[in-house]
């Protein structure tokens, strides 16, 4: 009996590498539900799943980043009780775009996560607004900017931790010319 095509696609890198990006996304979603409301400063809360997704996108290939974006969007939609499709599409597109950022920035440098977090947050929230417009766009924009600033403040320690968890980028990857 052959496994389903979806199972083969997700596990193409093996169980270990799949769990190394799947578990941080799941833990970030749990942390978002438990700790994010308590971490609010001036109405700004971090978006821990997006922060984790930015770290994964900087350290993996675009296809793995897209799968992580799919899983992040699915978990985000289940937590927020919003439309599933718009959150999944926004996270997949933003993660795939940020996964190409290592062509310009070195993923080994810890400061490279700052533009990745800013870009991923703005793109994900922008695509979400285009897919599912909200009633008050100014409040949505200020909330998104606050989340981006908060995520950038947490980005370097989280990226340092994710560099210890995620498997190293393969040396024969032609996408990363500036290792």
Separation between Cα atoms, residue 95 and residue 60, nearest integer Å: 10
Assess if residue 132 is contained within a domain.
Answer: yes
Torsions phi, psi for 41 (to 5 deg)? -125, 115
Residue 174, Cβ neighbours under 10 Å: how many?
6
**CATH code at position 147:** 1.10.1760.20
Q: Find all residues with CB under 8 Å of 81, minimum gap 6, and list them.
A: none
pTM listed for this prediction: 0.84
State the total domains in the chain: 1
Assess if residue 9 is contained within a domain.
Answer: no
Q: Give percent of the chain with pLDDT exceeding 90.
A: 55
Mean pLDDT value across residues 93-117: 93
Which structural domain, as residue segments, surrounds residue 49?
Answer: 14-36+43-165
Residue 179's pLDDT is: 47
Separation between Cα atoms, residue 32 and residue 48, nearest integer Å: 6
């Amino acid at each position: 009996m052959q496994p389903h095509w979806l199972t083969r696609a997700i596990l193409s890198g093996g169980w270990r590498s799949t769990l190394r990006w799947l578990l941080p996304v799941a833990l970030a979603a749990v942390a978002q539900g438990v700790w994010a409301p308590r971490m609010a400063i001036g109405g700004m809360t971090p978006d821990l799943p997006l922060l984790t997704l930015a770290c994964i996108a900087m350290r993996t290939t675009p296809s793995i980043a897209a799968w992580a974006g799919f899983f992040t969007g699915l978990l985000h939609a289940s937590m927020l009780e919003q439309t599933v499709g718009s959150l999944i599409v926004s996270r997949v597109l933003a993660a795939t775009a940020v996964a190409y950022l290592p062509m310009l920035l070195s993923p080994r440098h810890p400061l490279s996560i700052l533009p990745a977090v800013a870009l991923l947050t703005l793109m994900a929230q922008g695509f979400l607004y285009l897919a599912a417009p909200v009633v008050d766009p100014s409040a949505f924009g200020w909330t998104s900017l606050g989340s981006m600033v908060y995520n950038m403040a947490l980005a370097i320690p989280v990226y340092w931790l994710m560099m210890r968890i995620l498997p190293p980028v393969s040396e024969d990857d032609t996408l990363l010319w500036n290792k």
